């Protein structure tokens, strides 16, 4: 597949994809903040974000549904790009080089590296756990479940949220601070040729038809 | 309601010392002697009257229990159980259900809202409804299935052990009204002694398994029962045999809470120090 290039840029996400991502991102921030507030008193101040404890309790589940639905759209759109390939495993063997920014001669990977792919599958699992357990905890809308089910759901919700937040911390750090030139993919929709060639050479060849 | 005049021993979702300078009053307890209860429900009426509660008039379910369950408006209900003993004797076991005021309250452990649940130094566990956010975690935390969330305001309610009356030296309304003396109130120590004496009497009269119900699994309770069949609390409309805070709740609100919180903090710090030590990743190393 070959795409006509605009002046020196490689398209990575169209407007539709970017909006979907940012709906998930914004709802995630609000959910993580209000959820952490319910989890530990050290985070209680975060209830202010949604207008206090009671408003946080009311809004949190609705935001959760929005995040789940929009993430589902992303899951449908990207699952094929996230199947783990043999070259991803090779790339993973050099993880310490990646972490230490020694990127020379890394195995050539496609649109996503294995870290991104693992985050994708982790998000699918945690989102489903959060949604299912969230329904159990959403008592003013879904009524009362057996108390043991509620207890297990509360624990599952906390653990899944922890895993998700941990993954997103890595995601945000990598996209905004660590891997320079990534952020514009989600803000403007394009990346530079150099970025694409360096970080995702297989993908670069695939979308540009450029074999160099 | 939280009483300003009572010292607080535990406060929900709070990691600092709760207001506790007052000379701690001695632990109190309510003793419910089931062998003396005649099921007149005067305590239910007194509870409604003192606390200004008026439950909806329900329907007759074909049993004496009325209302049939605790609600946001009915903080205590009589539960009637018919029991046929092995000797063929029919017994009517009538238990006044309501908050047990645990020494280690599961509701308070589960509550995420600072100060929505307090435990006073005298042992009373009280809901401060103005701090309640209506999440229902107290219900998940409670080993006795007591708190109820109102449909009207989405706040949790339950027996206060008349903390407002106790704070000015009065006994709870149900105690005051009980015509048979089946409900008594006083220092926990005295109530335990009185309960033990009554258990002795019952044993003399043939109830070999009579016992005082003050379950150790929740650190003891500030509402205790004298049971004729102390070996089978379950006979009394499902009174738990060995109540304790569910291990799921202990995991959720115990170790996980600090552990996962620290984990997230470390992840953020880790990212920051990675940036400080390794720096950003450029397309061509050193290009920026």
Q: How many CB atoms lie within 10 A of CB A182?
A: 17
Q: Total structural domains in chain A?
A: 1
Tell me the pLDDT band of B22, cut-offs 50, 70 and 90: confident
- In this structure, is residue A76 part of a structural domain? yes
Whether omega for the bond prior to residue B67 falls within 30 degrees of 0, making it cis, is yes
* Predicted confidence (pLDDT) per residue in B200-214, tens digit: 999 999 999 999 999
- In this structure, is residue A139 part of a structural domain? yes
**Residues in chain B within 8 Å Cβ distance of A170:** 267, 271
Residue with tokens 């990691």: B15
| DSSP run (H or E) holding B281 | none
- In this structure, is residue A180 part of a structural domain? yes
Q: Find the CATH number of the domain harbouring A54.
A: 1.20.950.20
Q: Which two tokens stand for residue A168?
A: 């997103």
**What are the C-alpha distances in Å from B59 to residues A67, B67, B189?**
43, 8, 41
Q: B97 has which bridge partners?
A: B77
Q: Which of residues 90-129 of B touch A (CB under 8 A)?
A: 110, 112-114
For B25, the 3-state DSSP assignment is coil
Are the C-beta atoms of B271 and A183 separated by less than 8 Å? no
- In this structure, is residue A4 part of a structural domain? no
- In this structure, is residue A16 part of a structural domain? yes
The one catalytic residue in A21, A171, A193, A198 is A171
Task: Give the one of A53, A100, A155 whose C-beta lies nearest to B278's C-beta.
Answer: A100
Q: Which two tokens stand for residue B144?
A: 């006795």
- In this structure, is residue A71 part of a structural domain? yes
Task: Give the one of B14, B149, B268 whose C-beta lies nearest to A41's C-beta.
Answer: B14
Q: A190 has which bridge partners?
A: A11
* Predicted confidence (pLDDT) per residue in A116-172, tens digit: 999 999 999 999 999 999 999 999 888 889 999 999 999 999 999 999 999 999 999
> Is B254's pLDDT higher than 50?
yes
Q: Which structural domain, as residue segments, surrounds residue A199? A: 9-95+103-208
* Predicted confidence (pLDDT) per residue in B153-207, tens digit: 999 999 999 999 999 999 999 999 999 999 999 999 999 999 999 999 999 999 9
Q: Say if the Cβ atoms of B136 and A139 lie within 8 Å.
A: yes
For B99, the 3-state DSSP assignment is coil
| DSSP symbol at A174 | I
- In this structure, is residue A1 part of a structural domain? no
CA atoms within 13 A on the CB side of B126: 26
Are the C-beta atoms of B118 and B6 separated by less than 8 Å? no
- In this structure, is residue A2 part of a structural domain? no
pTM equals: 0.92
Q: Which of residues 209-248 of B touch A (CB under 8 A)?
A: 246, 248
ipTM: 0.91
């Amino acid at each position: 597949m070959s795409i006509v290039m605009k002046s020196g840029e490689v398209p990575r996400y169209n407007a539709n994809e970017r909006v979907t991502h940012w709906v998930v991102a914004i709802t995630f921030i609000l959910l993580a903040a209000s959820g952490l507030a319910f989890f530990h008193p050290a985070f209680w101040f975060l209830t202010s974000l949604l207008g206090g404890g009671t408003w946080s309790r009311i809004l949190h589940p609705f935001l959760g549904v929005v995040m789940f639905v929009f993430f589902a759209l992303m899951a449908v759109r990207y699952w094929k790009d996230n199947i783990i390939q043999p070259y991803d495993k090779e790339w993973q063997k050099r993880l310490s080089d990646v972490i230490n920014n020694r990127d020379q001669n890394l195995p050539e990977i496609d649109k996503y590296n294995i870290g991104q792919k693992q985050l994708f599958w982790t998000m699918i699992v945690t989102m489903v756990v959060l949604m299912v357990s969230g329904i159990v905890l959403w008592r003013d809308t879904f009524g009362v479940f057996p108390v043991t089910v509620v207890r297990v759901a509360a624990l599952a919700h906390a653990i899944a949220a922890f895993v998700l937040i941990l993954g997103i911390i890595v995601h945000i750090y990598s996209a905004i601070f660590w891997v320079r030139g990534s952020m514009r993919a989600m803000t403007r929709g394009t990346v530079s040729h150099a970025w694409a060639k360096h970080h995702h050479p297989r993908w670069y060849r695939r979308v540009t038809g450029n074999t160099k | 309601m939280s009483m300003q005049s009572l010292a607080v021993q535990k406060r929900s979702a709070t990691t600092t010392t709760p207001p506790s300078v007052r000379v701690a009053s001695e632990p109190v307890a309510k003793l419910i002697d089931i062998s003396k209860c005649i099921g007149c429900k005067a305590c239910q009426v007194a509870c409604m009257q003192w606390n200004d509660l008026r439950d909806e008039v329900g329907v007759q379910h074909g049993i004496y229990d009325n209302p049939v369950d605790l609600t946001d408006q009915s903080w205590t209900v009589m539960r009637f159980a018919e029991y046929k003993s092995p000797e063929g004797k029919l017994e009517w076991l009538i238990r006044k259900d309501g908050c047990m005021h645990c020494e280690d309250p599961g509701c308070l452990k589960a509550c995420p809202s600072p100060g929505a649940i307090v435990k006073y130094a005298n042992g009373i566990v009280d809901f401060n409804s103005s701090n309640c956010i209506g999440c229902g975690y107290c219900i998940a935390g409670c080993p006795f299935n007591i708190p109820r969330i109102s449909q009207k305001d989405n706040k949790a309610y339950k027996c206060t052990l008349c903390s407002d009356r106790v704070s000015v030296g009065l006994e709870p309304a149900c105690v005051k009204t009980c015509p048979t003396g089946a409900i008594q109130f006083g220092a926990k120590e005295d109530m335990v002694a009185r309960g033990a004496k009554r258990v002795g009497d019952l044993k003399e009269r043939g109830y070999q398994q009579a016992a005082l119900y003050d379950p150790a699994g929740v650190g003891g309770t500030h509402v205790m029962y004298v049971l004729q069949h102390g070996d089978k609390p379950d006979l009394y409309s499902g009174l738990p045999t060995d109540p304790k805070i569910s291990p799921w709740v202990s995991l959720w609100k115990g170790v996980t809470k600090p552990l996962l919180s620290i984990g997230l903090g470390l992840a953020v710090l880790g990212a920051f120090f990675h940036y400080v030590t390794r720096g950003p990743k450029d397309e061509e190393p050193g290009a920026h």
